[in-house]
Amino acid sequence: MSQRTFSIIKPDAVRKGDTGAILAEITKAGFKIVAIKKISLSKAQAEGFYHVHAARPFFGELVEFMASGPIFPMVLEKDNAIADLRKLMGATDPAKADEGTIRKMFASSIGENAIHGSDAEDTAAFEIGYFFAGLELK
């Protein structure tokens, strides 16, 4: 069944000019881009997005990084979108990511790993609503 997920092309990938190449991998894999925009997050906005990680030792670094430059948040749709995007992204640490995954191709470290993807239906719903209004999701 068709499902929506949420993704972000992170600041490292945008800075390197990899946005177009990453979008090509995503559309080649069969995802439809429902919504996309370019924005820069404040630290408070980045903290709100990653609130589930607030207690983790790397939280400060993560927030600093996500607020370090423009990002492309987007909503993607296909059958089994949440799990399939996670597979296409590869492991959090690009050194452990499989060949052909976006993180293997475009990420440089566990902190600067090119792309975000929702990990479950409830987090996808929260994340889509954090970045997009209903009228942007037709």
> What residues act catalytically?
116
Q: Which of the choices ligand ATP, Mg ion, none does residue 58 contact, using the CB cut-off of 5 to 8 A by kind?
A: ligand ATP
In sequence order, the β-bridge partners of residue 76 are 5, 33
CB under 8 Å to 29, separation ≥6 — which residues? 78, 84, 88
CB-based contact 33:74 (threshold 8 Å): yes
CB under 8 Å to 122, separation ≥6 — which residues? none
Binding mask 6-45 for ligand ATP (x = CB under 6 A): ----------------------------------------
The site for ligand ATP (CB under 6 A) is made up of 53, 58, 61-62, 92, 110-111, 113, 116-117, 119
The site for Mg ion (CB under 5 A) is made up of 119
